[in-house]
Amino acid sequence: MKESTRGALVVTARTLVAALCVVVVVAVRTTVGWGSLAIMLCALLVLLGVLASYNRRFH
Amino acid sequence: MATTTSSPPSDTSAPARPAGRSARRRGDGRFVLACLLPALVLFVLFMVVPTVNVFRMSFYTWSGFSPDMRFVGFDNFTQLFEDAQFVRAFQNTVALLVVVTVVTMGMGLFLAAIMTRQRLRGRNFYRFVLYVPNVLSVVVIAAIFSAIYDQQNGLLNGTLRLLSLDGLQQVWLGDQDIVLWSVAIAMVWQSLGYYMVLYMSSMASIPEELYEASGLDGASPTRQFFSITLPLIWQNLRTTLTFFVMSAVNLSFVLVRAMTGGGPDGSSEVLLSYMYKQAYTNSSYGYGMAIGVVIFAFSFLVSLLVSRATRREPLQF
């Protein structure tokens, strides 16, 4: 696979995961409970993970 | 000859010089300490002591006024696990934190890039308009948005009625499903201009030659943004992101308090407003402080994670 294609795929995947996390946070909020809160916190952690994975190559 | 004549004076002065130097260093140390002492005392009095007190009080049951204080250990914390309203407030806080941060930072970066790189006509005017909310008090902003969201005479519903979109009219601050997002819009509006101006100042310091060189190599504006602009303003972005996480928690309290009071039926309650309610309205000061400890731990942890996730070597240009 070409380097540019791979790069584009990684960027698309990261964007999709980040968008999905935000959607999960918004959708799960309507249900009150510790389980929902845990899912929301997991989504927050995944968002931070996406940020860290983007940032890793600049270390 | 010269060495024999010059050596005795140097021998006699050699022990005196270090003594004088150490005395001066001691004097310098005392001066530095004297300069630091007022700030240190203020820091201990107004930061360390109250923080320690919050942790201490979370182990007590106290109404906030009576002299009776009872040590209850971790009872306040175990009570939190059974409190559905606390869970709801926590969920609302996380939702606001995620959505408002993503939208504010994303839009701030986007607008700053457009204002800096594109030669927009009247960009100073746009900058002024977007920055104005930051000058206003948060309570004034809450009043403005309460007027905008008013069910009968509000700007939003009025405009929808004018456009014959009556079906889209909502009770913006009275519907349990949308009230939190109404507050979120006010939060974004309040902070967007400030972060945009911060990013603009960082972007303005990037040398134009970098863009010219990359333009000659065929880089598109999007590529330039991700390969030049973003890496070169990263330190600024990192700092603002960490600060924003903390300020979003605080800002949500003021806006919720002023716009909805946590209602309807606690659906817009956030952690700080719930803590305030428990500590000062419900006379459960100890329980309120237990919530305060959770807020402290949560903010600290998220800030730490953000800081770790965004750490990188600063670029020199």
Give residue-wise pLDDT tens across range B211-251: 889 889 888 888 888 888 888 888 889 899 988 888 888 88
Whether omega before B264 lies within 30 degrees of 0, making that bond cis, reads yes
Least confident of B14-18, B255-259, B294-298: B14-18
pLDDT band at A19 (very low <50, low <70, confident <90, very high): very high
pLDDT band at B16 (very low <50, low <70, confident <90, very high): low
From chain A, the residues in CB contact with B84 under 8 A are 32-33
Integer Cα distance of B59 and B75 in angstroms: 7
From chain A, the residues in CB contact with B311 under 8 A are 55, 59
Q: What is the pLDDT of residue B15?
A: 52
Give the percent of chain B with pLDDT over 90.
Answer: 35
Phi and psi, residue B269, nearest 5°: -65, 135
Nearest to B206 by CA among B234, B185, B186, B184: B234
Q: Under the phi-then-psi rule, with left for phi > 0, alpha for psi from -120 to 50, and beta for the rest, what region is B190?
A: alpha
Other beta carbons less than 10 A from residue B254's beta carbon: 18
Integer Cα distance of B286 and B66 in angstroms: 13
Integer Cα distance of B235 and B301 in angstroms: 20
Interface predicted TM-score (ipTM) of this complex, two decimals: 0.93
CATH number for the B75-309 domain, one of 1.10.3720.10, 3.40.1710.10, 1.50.10.10, 3.40.640.10? 1.10.3720.10
Average pLDDT over residues B20-28: 79
Average pLDDT over residues B76-103: 92
HSE-CB of B252 using CA atoms within 13 angstroms: 34
**Interface test with chain A among B90, B91, B307, by most A beta carbons within 10 Å:** B91
Other beta carbons less than 10 A from residue A49's beta carbon: 16
B91·A58 Cβ contact <8 A: no
pLDDT tens per residue, range B117-133: 887 788 788 888 888 88
Highest mean pLDDT out of B39-43, B111-115, B226-230: B39-43
Q: What is the pLDDT of residue B18?
A: 64
**How many CB contacts within 8 angstroms connect chain A with chain B?**
65
pLDDT at B12 over 80: no
From chain B, the residues in CB contact with A18 under 8 A are 102
Q: Under the phi-then-psi rule, with left for phi > 0, alpha for psi from -120 to 50, and beta for the rest, what region is B64?
A: left
Average pLDDT over residues B124-149: 88
Phi and psi, residue B61, nearest 5°: -105, 125
Integer Cα distance of B109 and B229 in angstroms: 10
pLDDT band at A46 (very low <50, low <70, confident <90, very high): very high
Integer Cα distance of A55 and A3 in angstroms: 18
Cβ contact B104:B194 at 8 Å = no
CA distance B213 to chain A (A): 20
Nearest Cβ partner of B310 from A21, A49, A55? Answer: A55
**Interface test with chain A among B87, B98, B240, B298, by most A beta carbons within 10 Å:** B98
pLDDT at B285 over 50: yes
**Interface test with chain B among A40, A42, A47, by most B beta carbons within 10 Å:** A40
pLDDT band at B17 (very low <50, low <70, confident <90, very high): low
Segments making up each domain of chain A, as ranges = 3-56
A44·B97 Cβ contact <8 A: yes
Average pLDDT over residues B18-30: 78
pLDDT at B99 over 90: yes
Q: What is the pLDDT of residue B317?
A: 64
Cβ contact B112:B168 at 8 Å = no
pLDDT band at B5 (very low <50, low <70, confident <90, very high): very low
Average pLDDT over residues A28-53: 93
HSE-CB of B287 using CA atoms within 13 angstroms: 18
Integer Cα distance of B287 and B277 in angstroms: 10
Q: How far is CA B230 from CA B62, B100, B206, B224, in A?
A: 50, 20, 11, 9
Cβ contact B93:B270 at 8 Å = yes
pLDDT tens per residue, range B164-204: 888 888 888 888 889 999 999 999 999 998 899 899 888 88
Compute the residue count for chain A: 59
Cβ contact B99:A18 at 8 Å = no
The whole-chain average pLDDT of chain B stands at: 86
CA distance A10 to chain B (A): 14
Give the percent of chain B with pLDDT over 70.
Answer: 93
Q: What is the pLDDT of residue B2?
A: 38
